[in-house]
């Protein structure tokens, strides 16, 4: 699946959430997530290399965690991400497969996330990253084969501008934590 992903550092989370409330957007429950990011040998930012993320998600302490394997590739010349995700039943087997393919652990990121599906099908997430001050909003929009990337990007930018947020970030959370 191809996605446009735009992230902003929020000026004020409380005011941002008030704007969402006025717009009728209800953020869901808080989900704790922990990502272990794996990069291939010879990884260089901007090189269109794939990366793997092993994600652990917990919605409540009395419910079992879920595990996902996510493969991402950022295509620099179009500035879109190609993303594939599957649920993992055997976590250690997934780690072993990535190591066998030449991927190694680059870092870990934990976060608390709330999300909402927007009327156009986009997903809005509000994240609080452990060991990092500030809060972030992230909008992910799918790009259909029949859509133009710039039209989808413009739609996402318009959403942020209506919410009066314009402090865009192009780094991953791992890069923000300066872990590699």
pLDDT digit string, tens, across residues 66-79:
999 999 998 866 77
The confidence band for 124, taking pLDDT boundaries of 50, 70 and 90, is: very high
Is residue 163 within 8 Å of residue 20, measured between CB atoms?
Answer: yes
Contact between residue 36 and residue 52 where contact means Cβ atoms under 8 Å apart: no
CB 170 within 8 A of CB 80: no
Residue 44's pLDDT is 85
Q: In the chain, what are the domain boundaries?
A: 2-176
Task: Find residue 70's DSSP bridge partners.
Answer: 53, 85
Summarised one tens digit per residue, pLDDT across range 39-54 is 999 888 778 899 999 9
Distance of alpha carbon 54 from alpha carbon 51, whole angstroms: 10
Task: Kindly give, in sequence order, each residue whose CB lies less than 8 Å from that of residue 161, ignoring residues fewer than 6 positions away.
Answer: none
CATH number for the domain whose boundaries are 2-176: 2.40.320.10
Structure tokens at 125: 């997430």
Q: pLDDT (tens digit, 9 = 90+) per residue, 12-41?
A: 999 999 999 999 999 999 999 999 999 999
pTM: 0.88
88 three-state secondary structure: coil
């Amino acid at each position: 699946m191809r996605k446009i992903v735009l992230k902003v550092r929020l000026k004020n989370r409380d005011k941002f959430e008030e704007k969402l409330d006025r717009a009728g957007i209800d953020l869901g429950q808080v989900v704790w997530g922990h990502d272990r990011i794996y990069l291939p040998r010879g990884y260089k930012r901007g090189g269109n290399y794939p990366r793997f993320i092993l994600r652990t998600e917990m919605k409540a302490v009395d419910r079992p965690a879920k595990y996902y394997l996510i493969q991402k590739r950022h295509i620099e010349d179009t500035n879109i991400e190609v993303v594939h995700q599957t649920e993992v039943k055997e976590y250690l087997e997934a780690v072993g497969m990535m190591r066998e393919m030449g991927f190694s652990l680059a870092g870990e990121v934990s976060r608390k996330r709330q999300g909402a599906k927007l009327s156009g099908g986009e997903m809005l997430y509000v994240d609080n990253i452990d060991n990092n001050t500030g809060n972030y909003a992230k909008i992910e929009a799918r790009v259909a084969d029949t859509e133009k990337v710039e039209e989808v990007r413009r739609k996402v930018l318009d959403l942020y501008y209506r919410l009066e947020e314009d402090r865009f970030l192009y780094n991953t959370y791992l890069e923000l934590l300066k872990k590699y």
